[in-house]
A and B are shown apart, each in its own frame.
Chain A
Amino acid sequence: MSEARVETEEERVARIARGIVVVREGHGANCSSVGSVVDTLFAAAVVGGAVLAAVAAALAKEPVRVAGTRETKGAAGADAATTTSKNEEPPT
């Protein structure tokens, strides 16, 4: 009887990277209009890849806080969030 192989950290980060649908870089630091970084848009593909890799690494290691709560947790077993979507397509 075989046991399921444990996912390596590298594989886990790669799985996160594959599941990134949208990346909006930066803080969005304007009080009137929604601003979007366009550097990556016009840069070489390798720059876009580097951005995705950096974000995936951050997603894998940063402590998690669920929106609408004050609790911070390391991983797993997250509470239900306070907000959901209705009739909204994935942001693709």
Chain B
Amino acid sequence: MIVRYEPWGAWAKTESPPALVALDRDAVRAIGLDGGAVWTDAPRASAPLEAHVAVTSRCAAGCTGCYLDARPDGDEPPQETMVSALDDLAKAGVFTVAFGGGEPTTREDLDVLAREARLRGLTPVLTTSGLGLTPEKIARLRAFAQVNVSYDGGGEEYARVRGFDGARHAEGAIQALVAAGVRVGVNIVLTRATWGSLDATLERARALGACEAQLLRYKPAGRAASLDYLAQRLTPEQARELGPKLRAIVERGVPGFRIRIDCAMVPFFSADPSIDASTLARFGVLGCEAGDKLVALRVDGRIAPCSFAAPTGLHASDVESRREDAELSTWRAWNASPAEPCASCSLRAVCRGGCKVVARFVDGAHGPDPECPRVRAHREAERAHDTTTGSGTSCTPNALSTPT
């Protein structure tokens, strides 16, 4: 396991079972360790837990909602640049590097990069569309702890999210990777079109041999930052139903098949009174950690708060000093003292205001996630109050925040 001391104890990443664990100081001592200077000296900035690394912006798939706007003639940083970045991330104390793109399997040296990551104590994982996977490429992917294949459904759902029918390719890739001994998960983008077929998609993914599904909220970045986003995003009713739907899936689930949600889904739990922040925190459910426990490395080497956000002027070598960056600070500052209705929300400490990429696109600024059920209710109440009293205006902060 890898241990990273923190003033309150340590983070530890175990191999079997794979987990990232926060321990208090007494537990660290029980392992036979001591934080030494970290526990006694003045604290310094904490490193991210996870880094999302774009190893290429090259991709021929042409997904209509690509958050990176990847293209067939995209860039591919040289191997030495990538290894240098891995060095910087490892020295900072990052635990996991998630390789993406573009389509990362267009690189010929993925196995080299995965091994270099492991040499530095980083756990390498990867996301692929599964398009164009050859036996040689699949062999390279065995160096990764897990490979996730984008798979939004076995029918027309895939095409409705990505603009082309790649479902059969994705299914073939899942099966081929599993046959090669790779641990495989699937990434399912939840839109109003894929929501209804989620159960069938999960069942199909499991039958193909996947061991995990990550449910992703559709986000307005890259090519998805268009008016079409408003037609793709979950409806308010679907967002409110997330908690009960997940509970039903888990209750009839199959042992060994895991369900994950992404950071941007956490605000939807505000509609489910049975979900409490302490349980979410206990099991490490993370909301928006952009620029904090998460950092994204763009293909041009610049750091971004997350994969969907615009880059800063920082580079991988600046990870340890990133807290001094003005742009990254704004992402954390809102979380520190949010406005209502986040300020009084019981999920605030975990949710951290919801997805700021969505807030920026819909409202034009950092602020409460406009698609959070609690935020929607709050704004509707404010509008009703304004209408009743004749005060204020009937305008929302941005026309896009009108419920759809």
Q: Are the C-beta atoms of B17 and A55 separated by less than 8 Å? A: yes
Give the most central of A29, A33, A76: most B CB within 10 Å: A33
Q: Are the C-beta atoms of A37 and B259 separated by less than 8 Å? A: yes
Of the 9-residue stretches B71-79, B158-166, B281-289, B369-377, which lies at the interface with chain A?
A: B281-289
| Cβ-based interface call for B36 (8 A) | yes
- CB proximity of A47 to chain B, nearest CB, Å: 10
Given contacts A25-B283, A80-B36, contact A31 B26 (CB under 8 A): no
A88→B145 CA distance, assembly (Å): 30
Q: Are the C-beta atoms of B24 and A21 separated by less than 8 Å? A: yes
Q: Are the C-beta atoms of A82 and B32 separated by less than 8 Å? A: no
Give every chain A residue within 8 A of B147 (Cβ-Cβ): 29
Give every chain A residue within 8 A of B43 (Cβ-Cβ): 84-88
- CB proximity of A9 to chain B, nearest CB, Å: 11
Q: Are the C-beta atoms of B127 and A30 separated by less than 8 Å? A: yes
| Cβ-based interface call for B280 (8 A) | yes
A78 touches which of B34, B99, B246, B250 (Cβ 8 Å): B34
| Cβ-based interface call for B228 (8 A) | no
Give every chain A residue within 8 A of B344 (Cβ-Cβ): none
A42 touches which of B12, B45, B247 (Cβ 8 Å): B247
Q: Are the C-beta atoms of B262 and A40 separated by less than 8 Å? A: no
A54→B23 CA distance, assembly (Å): 15
Of the 9-residue stretches B88-96, B192-200, B385-393, which lies at the interface with chain A?
A: B88-96
- CB proximity of B87 to chain A, nearest CB, Å: 10
Give every chain B residue within 8 A of A90 (Cβ-Cβ): 6, 8-9, 22, 24
Q: Are the C-beta atoms of A33 and B306 separated by less than 8 Å? A: yes
B285 touches which of A18, A38, A78 (Cβ 8 Å): A38
Chain B contact patch, size range: 35 or more
B307 touches which of A31, A38, A58, A59 (Cβ 8 Å): A31
- CB proximity of B320 to chain A, nearest CB, Å: 7
Q: How many A-B residue pairs have CB under 8 A?
A: 316
Give every chain A residue within 8 A of B5 (Cβ-Cβ): 66, 78, 80-81, 83-84
Given contacts A38-B246, A39-B253, contact A59 B1 (CB under 8 A): yes
Give the most central of A55, A83, A87, A90: most B CB within 10 Å: A83
Q: Are the C-beta atoms of B27 and A15 separated by less than 8 Å? A: yes
| Cβ-based interface call for A4 (8 A) | no
Give every chain A residue within 8 A of B16 (Cβ-Cβ): 58, 62
A86→B217 CA distance, assembly (Å): 31
Q: Are the C-beta atoms of A26 and B258 separated by less than 8 Å? A: yes
| Cβ-based interface call for A32 (8 A) | yes
- CB proximity of B292 to chain A, nearest CB, Å: 9
Interface residues of A in 53-92 (CB under 8 A from B): 54-55, 58-60, 62-70, 74-92
Per-position 1/0 for B78-118, Cβ under 8 A of A: 00000000000011110110111100100000000000000
- Taking A33-B214, A74-B32, A86-B44 as given, write out 5 further A-B residue pairs in contact, using a Cβ cutoff of 8 Å, ordered by the A residue number: A21-B23, A32-B98, A55-B17, A65-B2, A81-B93
**B residues whose Cβ falls under 8 Å from a Cβ of A:** 1-12, 14-28, 30-38, 41, 43-47, 50, 52-54, 67, 90-93, 95-96, 98-101, 104, 119-121, 123, 125-127, 145-148, 183, 185, 187, 212, 214, 216-217, 219, 246-247, 250-251, 253, 258-264, 275, 278-286, 289, 293-294, 306-308, 320, 323
**A residues whose Cβ falls under 8 Å from a Cβ of B:** 12, 15-43, 48, 51, 54-55, 58-60, 62-70, 74-92
